Structure 1
Amino acid sequence: MARPNEAGDHTPDTVEYDGPAGGWGSLKGIARIFSKEWDSPAALNTLRRQNKPKGFMCVSCSWAKPADYHAFEFCENGAKATLWELTSRRCTPDFFAEHTVTELLSWSDYDLEQQGRLTHPLRYDSTTDKYVPCSWDEAFHAIGSQLRALDPKSVVFYSSGRASLETSYLYALFARAYGTNNLPDSSNMCHETTSVALKKLIGAGVGTVVFDDLSNCDAMFFFGQNTGSNSPRFLHPLQDAAKRGVQIITFNPVREKGLEVFINPQNPTEMLTGKATQISSQYHQVKVGGDIAVIVGICKHVFAADDAAKQQGKRVIDAPFVGQHTHGFEEFEARVRATSWDEIEIASGLSRSVIEGAAQVYVEADRVIGIYGMGLTQHVHGFQNVAMLVNMLLLKGNIGRDGTGISPVRGHSNVQGQRTVGISEKPELVPLDKYAKQFGFEPPREKGINTVETCEGVLAGKVKAFVGLGGNFVRAIPERSKMEAAWRGLELTVQIATKLNRSHLVHGKAAYLLPCLGRTEEDVQASGQQAVTMEDTFSCIQGSIGLRKPASEHLRSEVAIVAGLAKATLPPNPKLKWDEWVGNYDLIRNEIAETYPDEFHDFNARMFTPGGFYRGNSARERIWKTESGKAEFTAPETLTSTGFSDAPGRFRLLTMRSNDQFNTTIYGYSDRMRGIEGTRDVLLMNPDEIARAGLQEGQMVSLVSDAEDGILREVGPLKVTPFKLPDGCVGAYYPEMNPLIPLSHHDIYSKTPAAKSVPVRIRA
């Protein structure tokens, strides 16, 4: 574990990384994965095509693919994801013949995925406790037969956020033609709070910012988003912004290196001289769950500054905008003015002077962007976190102008796009009347179930079957110990995947593992080479073409697998043209355009527009599709988003991802940008907190859930590791900490699991 060798913001005796984000460390990280996953020299050519027009779109995060691209338009984690897919390792039927499922359950997540690409369709054989090969026809026939025997309301169709728009559209169509809206996706676990809050507050469930806004703003305010690990290509426009004098104000319980300093690996001068760019002009370690209090403090300072400006016949608040475009301002103003600075300081863990220093940047800036990640969404009061950021932006008219807006940074490469084309458990978000006319069946109108409700249904015995389009659902969900036991009672589990993971080993009575093509691989169907599309975090649609030879001749595309399942399950319907759609994906895009004409008109003609084509956002145009017809101010009901009270011995656990993972995929054991190497079994605490708890550095402890429900949840052993965190807060890795999160611990409105503030105690 690296220790700092210089003063400044470093805290003595804590693990930290003393280098910048990017730089030689990033190149070494890529090289390490490249040597481990060695495929061929052609992998380098594949990387050169990544995120470029007529190339393939990254399978990692959903950051923009700009029209004016760099020579290497990929980041460290994007390269890792591509090399992970291009691995030369193969997980063949011979591997499964050698290992029982029970044995494989004892393997780590890393070791499971290191077996390489799945090569054949497989079914679970209970007599031998092994996966055995089967034909595609056998798998489709058996799965279809079991699905027809089940009540559609008892079947869940989950998607991970990586599948293309074409696959997602057909998957949702299949589920609804089957008779269910049970279409949860990975958004339920991360940004569902965004979808619910923004839809209610501004009438559009996604961010209002486009890529060009980053070049036209005066200030950016970050809350709970780790750019360096989760969307490193964002560092390029951030570096440009910092160099032109944009004030970047960051609030995060953890000092994330990517928002501190950055060396551009594509800049030879920076690489040779080691000259880094400071990204954040202010960086404040807010207490876990303290963001509402911070933003109340910022708004309180704005009101004070506006009062002073009025004395001179001026305004700080955009009064014409507030009067014409918003609702609920008076109640919000009264609540903020009535909140004392003492309350704000206690809840945020920051001083008044610090918050006012950040707020003054907001007062003086003309065009401001608010940027956030799961540090706002994954709390019991996550809705209020997002609502407070909306409030702050509305005060000065910072939604609906160039260089302004709210920008949730999405994770999975197409998680936003899946919702756009129908993956949703909420029927009101899908044009079902168009479905009925377009495809000649009456789609179900009852609300489906989301991720938490799926888990509740499994525990209650109401969910009987689970079909997974990618992902590692059982590993990603809360309450994992109880869930894994209940999962084995399902009648059927089907997993569409590229590599082996733990969810494939925690299976139902009948289980099938269906291997699919990766996005880098050539997809040839009856009409020739196929392309697919996805939507980035800025609502732009991008085309993607894979050119690598598939890992196995037995693989099928996700489109073909979904169509095969649908054909085997559903009664004949001449308007459901599964074979034609598989043969030519242009036909699928024509169907999408018919269902969603405003966003996807001329879809096939526009899909390779450099930088993507923008599907539009009503709130960006200041058209507010809300109940009031205006953007909504929200009076805060609490200053702390955790949903639980502080108590002696109780800590706020923040779950984190390392620099060497993407969601549940673990690429290795190097969290370089936090100075942690060789292990994930750590408990991060600040040195004073370690001393107050009577612990010592290196001591092995367990974390115990402190939810007030009487259920014992425990994870350990974990090594006590000194790390710069706010008092009362501890950190540890996701998904290892998921067993500590009660299923009931979620955002009130969206049911997003509250993984960023979990009540725990430490057991020595």
Structure 2
Amino acid sequence: MSKIDKSDAYPYASGGWGSLKAVATILLQEKAPLTDTRVLMHQNKHDGFMCVSCSWAKPADPHTFEFCESGAKATAWDLTAKRVTPDFFEAHTVSELVQWHDHDLEEAGRLTEPMRYDPTTDRYVPASWQEAFDAIGAELRTLDPSSVVFYTSGRASLETSYMLQLFARMYGTNNLPDSSNMCHESTAVGLKEAIGVGVGTVSLDDFETTDLMFFFGQNVGTNSPRMLHQLQDARKRGVPIITFNPLREPGLLHFANPQSPVDMLTPSDTQISTQYHQVKTGGDTAAILGICKLVIEADDRAVSTSSGRVVDAAFIREHTNGYEEFAQYVRDARWDDVEHVSGLPREALQTAADEYMKANAVIIHYGMGITQHRMGVQNVRMLCNLLMLRGNVGKPGAGPSPVRGHSNVQGQRTVGITEKPELAPLDQLARQFSFEPPREKGMNIVEAFEAMLEGKINAVINLGGNLVRSVPDRMRTEPAWAALGLTVNVTTKLNRSHLVHGPRSYMLPCLSRIEIDRQAGGAQAVSMEDSTAHFHGSRGVAEPAAPTIRSEPFIVAGIAKATLGEHSTVDWDAWRDDYSRVRTEMSKTWPEMFEDFEARMWTPGGVIRPLPARERKWKTKSGKAEFMVPTSIGEDPDMPQREPDSLRLMTLRSDSQFNTTIYGLDDRFRGIKGTRMVILMNPADMEKRGLAQGDRIGLETIADDGVERRVDGLTVVPFDVPQGCIGGYYPECNPLLPLWHYAKESKVPGAKSIPVRVLASAA
């Protein structure tokens, strides 16, 4: 269905009283002191702290409450009054804790002291900070650097990330995977090939001048609700918003602004999507191809009648390469194929194309519904093709807008967290710090776990995150993680990765970004990069959860010093005491981005990094923006659905979730209460299989590699999703995703399209 009216919507708009109630509930649940709720007033303000969850932009003129429901939940999660002290581990063995639900592990509270695993008692026991640093450093010195992985979560600041990548390279490895490998690496690869920069080109200013916005595979209501303010403003200006998403999501239908008295005290809300197209899972390339076909056909008619061009011929001629090959491919495409793969009729795509051809400036927002596919990079390139047809890159109000789901996942790449040597300034680092960096390619997430399965990895330094739960193929990868000789986890709370381990494991509790970071050089601040490529300062305002926890820079510096010793030219103690010294070195490594950063990092609205594509300067091989001809419009040319009754599973997040962190078991937007073990299914698919609401089923992956992948105990829930497509929660459905089922070129796990069969449940 393409048109939206009130009768089509979910019962309630996103935001509104439901959002306020959810915030109040989690503050009470975490026993956050009422005096600490004032911390929220500093969230995403230019003199406060950046949200620890999503990375949406921080405006120069913020709202009074510049936080959303998801951000408030993340803050309450860190502000919790609950503590996990050594007494907790004295009372619970690891064998017992590993049986706990993921929610209950984190819900136990904040870790307060460094702990090491004692295999004789099967418990974590206290260790002093120096004891931990010395032991970790001593073991790392005995290992081949190529067998050690340094993982970075998107919560790490620019300063911490810069320190970690330098430490890893001085140690001798480019094994620097990060959370980008799990989500937007397809963006980094695809945009780099198409327009010469690996990030989006849209800023908040562009929302004020755009004529049209598309959404592809991004659920703003759950994943980046603060963005709804800009969308609401655009809709009030009459800007159409066209959505392509398999599930009908309330955040893309209607929004009631919790900061608006009119919205809160009346039935008023804002219709967000003016068209909503439920594309089949994996049908994005086909849908985009259909729109491109309609645009090019209209342009061909205009040329034949000597009318005004529909495509931006001047832009294409001056700024692009490969248009004619792409245009011919589009002309030759068959409508039967486009409609079958996308699941959308030509008439629906025509309504989208008509709006596109009327607009002078167009933004395309997208998320992991585009990137986490076998053809994820191609999906990104196709979005660029669509934008370039009418010159919608490098002008106000237009461009690609990948919406990142983690607070600094984009920024850590900017400061050198990458396994690809060609993307790191190795020559500059060599000159700056008088050492020879390794030049061999490192491992991304998929490659690191492939090496674990082969017994080639000895240790992981895990800076945040819950890798055991977040990676695919859990039934294979979890035992591989447990076989590691050393795991070091820098963390705020207890999670599964700390409980599945080998003989030597450490939990090192770190400060949250929300907390005041006091070092020998005084109170410290850090910096982040948001989804719109703006850098911001961030300063904690809450008292630390315990005097015995340390900051991430402190911990990285301590391990680096203990490991590298005299082989390092860095004064790690000085960097630990004063983060401005780190920023000074960042400015030497990237002067074009960080010159005078110490003075500029508190600029309201942020400091934008240089993006040549915004000025129509193309850092590609040809020196122009590149059109791409698709290799296939099907989702899985290498893993087709071989069975007539097979279904395509996409994994989802709930409104009570941030990545692997589960705040609660309800998902109010989808009507789920008290469980996450559900499968959302089209009623016609249920009827075909003789299933009723509430029936229990199992799912099994369809693959030919001889590995059984199955999840049981899933409850069927009827839902508005295209036939042949189903939805289930991440990470509960991760065991169904083969490690080798990833995006070509980027190796992002194909979590949004897993071919499965339905079985009778064994649980």
Please indicate the TM-score interval, normalised by the length of the shorter structure: over 0.9
**Stretch moving more, 695-704 or 178-187:** 695-704
Deviation string, structure 1 residues 364-403 (Cα, Å, up to 9, x no partner)? 1000001100000000011111111000000000000010
Number of the residue aligned with 2:16: 23
Output aligned runs, 1:188-267, within 5 Å. Answer: 188-267=181-260
Of the three residues 175, 180, 186, the one matched with 2:173 is 180
Q: Aligned partners of 1:414 and 1:541: how far apart in 2?
A: 10
Number of the residue aligned with 1:520: 514
Of the three residues 352, 356, 361, the one matched with 2:355 is 361
Does residue 564 (structure 1) correspond to residue 567 (structure 2)? The answer is no
Does residue 733 (structure 1) correspond to residue 726 (structure 2)? The answer is no
> 1:426: how far off?
0.5
1:763 is paired with a residue whose SS is strand
Indicate if the aligned counterparts of 2:420 and 2:442 stay in contact, CA closer than 8 A: yes
Q: Aligned partners of 2:484 and 2:523: how far apart in 1?
A: 38
Indicate if the aligned counterparts of 1:380 and 1:747 stay in contact, CA closer than 8 A: yes
Of the three residues 394, 401, 405, the one matched with 2:388 is 394
Of the three residues 160, 165, 170, the one matched with 2:163 is 170
1:677 is paired with a residue whose SS is coil
Output aligned runs, 1:391-470, within 5 Å. Answer: 391-470=385-464
Indicate if the aligned counterparts of 2:55 and 2:407 stay in contact, CA closer than 8 A: yes
Q: Aligned partners of 2:307 and 2:66: how far apart in 1?
A: 49
TM-score for both structures, normalised by structure 1: 0.98
2:121 is paired with a residue whose SS is coil
Q: Aligned partners of 1:642 and 1:263: how far apart in 2?
A: 39
Does residue 655 (structure 1) correspond to residue 654 (structure 2)? The answer is no
Q: Which amino acid aligns with 1:709?
A: D
> 1:200: how far off?
1.2
Does residue 709 (structure 1) correspond to residue 687 (structure 2)? The answer is no
Number of the residue aligned with 1:75: 68
2:462 is paired with a residue whose SS is strand
2:566 is paired with a residue whose SS is coil
1:676 is paired with a residue whose SS is coil
Number of the residue aligned with 1:130: 123
> 1:251: how far off?
0.2
Does residue 472 (structure 1) correspond to residue 471 (structure 2)? The answer is no
2:711 is paired with a residue whose SS is strand
1:748 is paired with a residue whose SS is coil
Q: Aligned partners of 1:657 and 1:583: how far apart in 2?
A: 38
Q: Which amino acid aligns with 1:330?
A: E
Of the three residues 483, 488, 491, the one matched with 2:485 is 491
Output aligned runs, 1:199-348, within 5 Å. Answer: 199-310=192-303, 311-348=305-342
Number of the residue aligned with 1:13: none
TM-score for both structures, normalised by structure 2: 0.98
Q: Which amino acid aligns with 2:8?
A: D
User: Structure 1: any 5+ residue segments left out of the alignment?
Assistant: 1-5, 11-16
> 1:241: how far off?
0.5
Of the three residues 670, 676, 688, the one matched with 1:674 is 670
Q: Aligned partners of 1:48 and 1:81: how far apart in 2?
A: 14
Q: Aligned partners of 1:442 and 1:710: how far apart in 2?
A: 44
Does residue 113 (structure 1) correspond to residue 131 (structure 2)? The answer is no
> 1:116: how far off?
0.3
Q: Aligned partners of 2:211 and 2:293: how far apart in 1?
A: 21
> 1:532: how far off?
0.5
Q: Aligned partners of 2:91 and 2:502: how far apart in 1?
A: 21
Deviation string, structure 1 residues 496-537 (Cα, Å, up to 9, x no partner)? 000000011111221000000111111111111100000000
Indicate if the aligned counterparts of 1:113 and 1:501 stay in contact, CA closer than 8 A: yes
Q: Aligned partners of 2:28 and 2:134: how far apart in 1?
A: 41
Indicate if the aligned counterparts of 2:149 and 2:461 stay in contact, CA closer than 8 A: yes
Deviation string, structure 1 residues 188-236 (Cα, Å, up to 9, x no partner)? 0000110111111111000011111011100001100000000000000
1:514 is paired with a residue whose SS is strand
Q: Aligned partners of 1:8 and 1:313: how far apart in 2?
A: 41
Q: Aligned partners of 1:502 and 1:755: how far apart in 2?
A: 20
Q: Aligned partners of 1:613 and 1:573: how far apart in 2?
A: 35
Identity of aligned residues (%): 59
Does residue 576 (structure 1) correspond to residue 570 (structure 2)? The answer is yes
Q: Which amino acid aligns with 1:419?
A: R
Indicate if the aligned counterparts of 1:642 and 1:758 stay in contact, CA closer than 8 A: no
Q: Aligned partners of 1:42 and 1:573: how far apart in 2?
A: 47
Q: Aligned partners of 2:594 and 2:34: how far apart in 1?
A: 38
Q: Aligned partners of 1:234 and 1:454: how far apart in 2?
A: 34
Does residue 103 (structure 1) correspond to residue 99 (structure 2)? The answer is no
Indicate if the aligned counterparts of 2:297 and 2:331 stay in contact, CA closer than 8 A: no
Indicate if the aligned counterparts of 1:384 and 1:641 stay in contact, CA closer than 8 A: no
Indicate if the aligned counterparts of 1:700 and 1:718 stay in contact, CA closer than 8 A: yes
Deviation string, structure 1 residues 212-270 (Cα, Å, up to 9, x no partner)? 10111000011000000000000000001111111100000011111100000000111
Q: Aligned partners of 2:633 and 2:457: how far apart in 1?
A: 37
> 1:8: how far off?
2.5
Indicate if the aligned counterparts of 2:466 and 2:496 stay in contact, CA closer than 8 A: yes
Q: Aligned partners of 1:562 and 1:440: how far apart in 2?
A: 20
Q: Aligned partners of 1:728 and 1:31: how far apart in 2?
A: 39
Deviation string, structure 1 residues 523-566 (Cα, Å, up to 9, x no partner)? 11111110000000001000011121111111011000000000
Number of the residue aligned with 2:640: 645
Deviation string, structure 1 residues 383-425 (Cα, Å, up to 9, x no partner)? 1111110000000000000100001000110000000001000
Indicate if the aligned counterparts of 1:297 and 1:355 stay in contact, CA closer than 8 A: yes
Q: Aligned partners of 1:464 and 1:105: how far apart in 2?
A: 22
2:460 is paired with a residue whose SS is strand
2:727 is paired with a residue whose SS is strand
Number of the residue aligned with 1:14: none
Indicate if the aligned counterparts of 2:170 and 2:568 stay in contact, CA closer than 8 A: no
Number of the residue aligned with 1:3: none
**Stretch moving more, 109-118 or 703-712:** 703-712
2:226 is paired with a residue whose SS is helix
Deviation string, structure 1 residues 586-613 (Cα, Å, up to 9, x no partner)? 1110000000100111010001000111
Q: Aligned partners of 2:56 and 2:267: how far apart in 1?
A: 26
Number of the residue aligned with 1:155: 148
Indicate if the aligned counterparts of 1:385 and 1:641 stay in contact, CA closer than 8 A: no
> 1:468: how far off?
0.4
> 1:573: how far off?
4.8
Indicate if the aligned counterparts of 1:305 and 1:363 stay in contact, CA closer than 8 A: no
Q: Aligned partners of 1:185 and 1:713: how far apart in 2?
A: 25
> 1:574: how far off?
6.5
Residue-pair matches, total: 753
Q: Which amino acid aligns with 2:451?
A: G
Indicate if the aligned counterparts of 2:419 and 2:442 stay in contact, CA closer than 8 A: yes
> 1:100: how far off?
1.0
Q: Which amino acid aligns with 1:597?
A: P
> 1:7: how far off?
8.2
2:116 is paired with a residue whose SS is strand
> 1:274: how far off?
2.0
Does residue 8 (structure 1) correspond to residue 7 (structure 2)? The answer is yes
Number of the residue aligned with 1:751: 747
Q: Aligned partners of 1:699 and 1:263: how far apart in 2?
A: 34
Of the three residues 612, 617, 625, the one matched with 2:611 is 617
Number of the residue aligned with 1:145: 138
Q: Which amino acid aligns with 1:123?
A: R
Deviation string, structure 1 residues 275-326 (Cα, Å, up to 9, x no partner)? 0110000001000000101111000110122123332431110001101111
Q: Which amino acid aligns with 2:665?
A: Y
Number of the residue aligned with 1:55: 48
1:347 is paired with a residue whose SS is helix
Indicate if the aligned counterparts of 1:291 and 1:640 stay in contact, CA closer than 8 A: no
1:232 is paired with a residue whose SS is coil
Deviation string, structure 1 residues 147-179 (Cα, Å, up to 9, x no partner)? 000000000000111110000000001000000
